[in-house]
Structure 1
Amino acid sequence: MELSTFSPEHPLLLITDYPADTGGGGAVILRSLLSQQEREKVIWLSLSGATQSDPALWKGHHRLTQGSSGMISSARRSIFLDSTWFAGNLAAEILDIAKERQARGLWVVMHGAVVHVAAHLIRAGQLPIHLTVHDDPTSYIMRSKKNFVLTPLVERDLAFALKKADSIDVICQGMAQRYKSRYGVDSTIVHRGTNQEIEPETTYDKNRFGLAIGVLGNTYSYEQLPILCQAIIEASRQLGVPGKLVIVGQSFGDRLQKHFSGQLDIDVANHLDETTAIERLRQCFMLYLNYPFSWRTRVLRQTSFPTKLSTYLMTARPIIMHVPDDSSVMPLANYSGYINLWNNCDPMTGAKILIKCWSESKSEDNFHIPAENIRQKYYDLNRNQENLFKLLNALT
């Protein structure tokens, strides 16, 4: 399926809070779903002051200039100002670009200040609008130490935009159910798309790598990581093997190194491209997937779905899933043996899981089989493209 109702002469405008080359999950999802042919029909407009480090990722990318990053300083962008003072100006700039480029529709990703820009665009009523939601904006802003005061405004503009948009896609069933009950809107689930089948894993070398647990990207908060470290320390002690935590990307590596200095080997790699990250994570015995346990993060864990899971699957390494029982990822627990559920904050429970998996692992495990089943269930490229493109094509 393709974006048949758009063309380079009459494009679709994609509006995001972040630039096209950012490493975050939202950008990864968007890039995965649009081939080079489709990208020629889409102009990516971002509020962020960051510039592209690799323009080849998305040639049709432009940074908006009427927000804080253009009017004040790209190095000191203010989400607060873009959400309030500059939101109307940014919407007007988008509509000017739409008129100049003869755009046929707007595709708006509801994250950060874009939530408020979207409300202005909908009130203008000049073009049909499709909304994408990867992280619930209200629960996201509530966790911000700097901008949590925007929470009532975010909830107001999110509700307005969802109710007035022409169509909506969301990241998981939990989010779809919440938006149906809370706002009375229907939505379609769209995940990242991959068409590469999971390859059989190579034999894990226990003697070389020991009990190495890998973590990719954001873990939402620091609190669970010391618990994981304590579990690794205890498991490695009982097994009599070296323990290690391998962190790839943005997390709390420096803080953990100070906290567990002399107790646990913590290997921290800065941001790696996905291919390199996969090779690094293949050298881990298990990979760590988590959602926080606090009441404040309840909506987050019920309405989000981790893009990093798609990367984990490509490694064909087993996963320890550290989440409360009300999390969106709980259906993954059905893949027992490959997905290992840790549903409390007791380090000893985590240690028992690691010990059990280590003791039961064989020289030839077939983790690629359940990994491929999960890839097909959630991340199949053709199905996710079809779900999204039906909505986008219907705009016109």
Structure 2
Amino acid sequence: MVGTETSQFDNNPITPIRQYPITMSNPTTNILVLADYLPDSGWGGGVIIRSLLENIPNDVTLSWTTFSVERNQKNSKVNNINILPFKPRYIRGQGKFKLIRKLDSLLFASDLNQIIKKNNIQLLWIICGVTYNELYRLSVLSTQLTIPFHITVHDDPIVELESTKKEEGKVLFQTLLSNAKSVDVISNRMRDSYKTQYNINAIVITRGIPSNFPTNSLRDSTSINVLMGGYGNVPSPWPLPLIEAMELMQNDQPSFLHLFDSKLSKWKNEYTIIYENMPEAAFNQVLKTIDIGYACDDLNPARLAFAQLSLPTKIITYIGAGIPFVYHGPQDSTVGDLLKQYEAGIIVSTNDSKQLYDAFYKLRTNYEYYQQQCLLALQNQFAAKIVQYRFYNYILNNS
């Protein structure tokens, strides 16, 4: 069945997109999610997962558990998802010696298998962490599970590991990926890299934007509002280039920088607003007032791997809200690939504040064009219906 939707940014019909069936498989499949956070928490990857939970197929029953006994005991249900009372046992002194770590991981796997059996779980959905201990435990778990499992990778754990752990980490990660029934990753580059490095086939899954997602409909024409919707894990001289670029914009009209990174509190002033953590609903209200998005990655040539594999979720959020953005990061990156398809933003690959200002200025003076590019990207790649169908069809039918 084909239907017509209305653009979030104007009242003109957009290209019809397929209306996917809500029934994906038969009979009902019981899926257990294993993550280090609960369904209502976690930025970045957590936002992606929540977008996949908004329209669970009718023939899928989803439950959730974490590595934390405390989290599992505090909650019986979150966002209408049952939290299983998993109480993994641990050996005293865990993580200090290889033998203890191995025994501890085997014990964890045994306890999880009991929960799986007790709750008639048919598929385990693992959200991959990035620490060495998580990777080790999941690698051992992958050899002990009594049911198939799917794994989601948002940030490459090998990139995140300290140099002394990388080689062993690759072996652990290879074991985990090879034992998985199916794998999803955050970008085309990560998919292609894993095919080359680990000889596994993966599907690309990003955040899906629902049709009722808020747009920046409350923009104020008398000022410019720039948002960095997350953390900026970038070394010096950042954030100085951004701060200086915002000061240059003050010469044009009042310009406000909205930040969600408490590490930047020393920059707080009349024009730089630092927010505390807030629920997504409150964050979405802020989105309605924003003119331009901002995201950054490390420009150091020795540390480009992260930007070349991971796609910042905030970029998809900006696109979903119709907010053109400046990406302050390497041209050779997943964001660079995206902007070759849809010119929804501008890349600045130096720490020159004047170049950042020029990028902001170009977006402001060609706003309708860049906003239309956001719409095209949303419609063709990030619409929730497309992403959700692709994901559930893949994990339920892939063998």
- Length-normalised TM-score, structure 1: 0.81
Question: Structure 1, residues 327-356: CA drift from partner, whole Å, max 9, x if none?
Answer: 101133347774122122211211222234
Q: Deviations over 1:131-173 (max 9, x none)?
A: 211111111234xxxxx75444432211111123222111110
1:220 aligns with 2:233: yes
Instruction: Identify the match of residue 4 of structure 1 among 22, 25, 33.
Output: 25
The SS at the match of 1:60 is strand
**1:120 Cα deviation (Å)?**
1.9
Match of 2:258 in 1: 246
Cα distance in 1 for partners of 2:322, 2:228 equals 14
Shift of 1:382: 2.8
Structure 1 distance, partners of 2:380, 2:95, is 39
Structure 1 residue 380 and structure 2 residue 383: aligned?
yes
One-letter amino acid matched to 1:22? S
Matching residue's letter, 2:207:
R
2: CA distance, partners of 1:389 / 1:191:
13
CA contact (8 A) 2:227 2:294 kept: yes
Find the partner of 2:42 among 23, 29, 34.
23
CA contact (8 A) 2:26 2:59 kept: no
Q: CA deviation at 1:78?
A: 8.6
Q: Which amino acid aligns with 2:257?
A: L
Corresponding position of 1:256: 267
In the alignment, is residue 173 of structure 1 matched against residue 191 of structure 2?
no
Q: Secondary structure at the match of 1:191?
A: coil
- The 1:333/1:79 distance shift into structure 2, 3 A limit, reads farther
1:1-396 matches, within 5 Å, as 1=21, 2-5=23-26, 7=28, 11-34=30-53, 35=55, 41-48=61-68, 49-50=70-71, 55-62=77-84, 64-66=86-88, 86-112=104-130, 113-124=133-144, 126-142=146-162, 150-196=165-211, 201-202=216-217, 204-207=219-222, 210-223=223-236, 224-237=238-251, 239=252, 241-248=253-260, 250-257=261-268, 265-334=271-340, 338-358=344-364, 360=365, 365=368, 368-394=371-397
Question: How far did 1:276 drift?
Answer: 2.4
- Measure, in 2, the Cα distance between the counterparts of 1:149 and 1:84: 19
RMSD: 3.3
CA contact (8 A) 2:234 2:297 kept: no
- 1:374-394 per-position Cα deviation (integer Å, ceiling 9, x unaligned): 112332223322322233223
SS of the equivalent of 1:221 reads coil
The residue type paired with residue 152 of structure 2 is: T
Q: 1:119 and 1:38, CA in 2 relative to 1: closer, same or farther beyond 3 A?
A: farther
Deviation string 1:94-141 (CA, Å, 9 cap, x unpaired) is 111111122222222221444333322321252112221111111123
Distance 1:125 1:354, change over 3 A: closer
Change (3 A) 1:78 1:270: farther
Work out the CA distance in 1 between the residues paired with 2:283 and 2:101. Answer: 34
- SS of 1:135's equivalent in the other structure is coil
Deviates more, 1:318-327 or 1:116-125: 116-125
* Unpaired segments ≥5 residues, structure 1: 143-147
> In the TM superposition, what whole-angstrom CA distance separates every residue of 1:226-271 from its partner, at most 9, and x where no partner exists?
221121113324x3x33332113x45231433xxx6xx73201112
Q: Deviations over 1:29-63 (max 9, x none)?
A: 22222335559612212114446789441431236
Equivalent in the alignment of 2:15 = none
Question: Which secondary structure does the structure 1 equivalent of 2:295 belong to?
Answer: strand
Amino acid at match of 2:111: E
Task: Find the aligned partners of 1:337 and 1:133 in 2 and give their Cα distance.
Answer: 26
- Which string of whole-angstrom CA distances, capped at 9 and with x for unpartnered residues, describes residues 289-316 of structure 1? 2222123432211111122223222432
Q: Secondary structure at the match of 1:33?
A: helix
Distance 2:154 2:171 in 1: 18
Q: What secondary structure does 1:158 align onto?
A: helix
Q: Report if the CA contact (8 A) 1:19-1:47 is conserved.
A: no
Residues 62-106 of structure 1 deviation map (CA, whole Å, 9 limit, x = unaligned): 3642266xx88xxxx999999766322222221111111222222
Stretches of structure 2 lacking an aligned partner (at least 5 in a row): 1-20
Instruction: Return closer, same or farther for 1:3/1:357 CA change in 2, 3 Å cut-off.
Output: closer
Q: Distance in 2 between matches of 1:80 and 1:29?
A: 35
Amino acid at match of 1:243: S
The answer to whether the Cα contact below 8 Å between 1:216 and 1:247 also exists between their aligned partners in 2 is yes
- Give TM-score, length-normalised by structure 2: 0.80
The 10-residue stretch of structure 1 (272-281 or 153-162) with the greater mean CA deviation from structure 2? 272-281
Q: Using the alignment, how far apart are the partners of 1:185 and 1:162 within structure 2? A: 7
Residue identity over aligned pairs, in percent, reads: 19
Indicate if the aligned counterparts of 2:215 and 2:322 stay in contact, CA closer than 8 A. Answer: yes
Letter paired with 2:274: V
